[in-house]
Structure 1
Amino acid sequence: MKTLTVNIVTPDGPVYDSEVDMVIANTASGEIGILPGHIPMVAPLVVGAVKLKKDGKSEYVAVTGGFVEVRPEKVTILTQSAEVASSIDLARAKAAVKRAEERLQMKQDAVDFERANLSLKRAMNRINVHEGNI
């Protein structure tokens, strides 16, 4: 069976580099499934989980947006931050949710509200990926 090489890269370096059967990612225009031989494309990603299927099993990586570049036999994801499910610090993510929720309860200007809302989305995504609630 054909496979895809997947590279997930952050400014701090590579997070994931392996061969997979399929990639499922959340783009700005919806969810996309990528199989070997997919047409070349580039799409913006949103905060969400990237699902990597290999040998009937699935792995998840939490990403904070970025871009996915697809070529027929290779997928590259460039993102500001990415964490493999097994490396997510659940206590830290839950603390981030609590902080973001507290900020959302305060009276504040629109910029702070948007930052707190985005922080909440990122933290909830990390928790969901860690717990497999995708």
Structure 2
Amino acid sequence: MSSFPLLTLKILSPDGINFEKKGLKEVVVPLADGGSIGIKPGHATLIAETVRGAIRYRSELEQDSIEVLPGILDIRDNTVIILSAGKVSQQTSMVSEAEPMNFERLMQTLISKIQSEEESISLQS
């Protein structure tokens, strides 16, 4: 049994949380370089670019996937966050089309999140 807590997967858009799932043993995310990354509890901190596709996740009792539009992957403290410009669909065969892509807004959301986490860490030190 792993000594790490289980993963939490969050999919965010500039409008807020679109999807959240806790208690996961593994998450697999398609990356912009053409490959994918498998994430398990205890994974190192990472930021990467994602592509439109299925994010697969597995808990102790189930496996499932969710379709997302391109975005940014942020892995930190057993939380897998995907910042995406559009809505998600829980059916792998369907993806809702994004409103006109507003990457500037998406990037500002990512920068704000990282800054607030850095401030939180510096206050704890």
TM-score of the two chains, using structure 2 as the length reference: 0.63
Alignment of 1:6-85 (within 5 A): 6-19=9-22, 20-29=24-33, 30-85=35-90
Query: C-alpha displacement at 1:21, in angstroms?
Result: 1.2
Paired with 1:82 and 1:51, the residues of 2 have a C-alpha distance of 17
Runs of 4+ in 1 over 6 A off after TM superposition: none
Tell whether the 8 Å contact from 1:3 to 1:73 is kept in structure 2 after alignment: yes
Tell whether the 8 Å contact from 1:27 to 1:43 is kept in structure 2 after alignment: yes
Query: C-alpha displacement at 1:89, in angstroms?
Result: 9.2
Paired with 2:69 and 2:39, the residues of 1 have a C-alpha distance of 19
The amino acid that maps onto 2:57 is L
Q: Which runs of 5+ in 1 are unaligned?
A: 97-134
Tell whether the 8 Å contact from 2:11 to 2:18 is kept in structure 1 after alignment: yes
Distance 1:44 1:58, change over 3 A: same
User: Percent identical across equivalent pairs?
Assistant: 27
Tell whether the 8 Å contact from 1:60 to 1:84 is kept in structure 2 after alignment: no
Are 1:3 and 2:39 an aligned pair?
Answer: no
Paired with 2:21 and 2:53, the residues of 1 have a C-alpha distance of 20
Find the structure with the greater CA-based Rg: 1
Alignment of 1:99-114 (within 5 A): none
The amino acid that maps onto 1:75 is V
Paired with 1:71 and 1:83, the residues of 2 have a C-alpha distance of 22
Paired with 1:89 and 1:28, the residues of 2 have a C-alpha distance of 20
Q: Which runs of 5+ in 2 are unaligned?
A: 98-125
Tell whether the 8 Å contact from 2:69 to 2:88 is kept in structure 1 after alignment: no
Tell whether the 8 Å contact from 2:69 to 2:85 is kept in structure 1 after alignment: yes
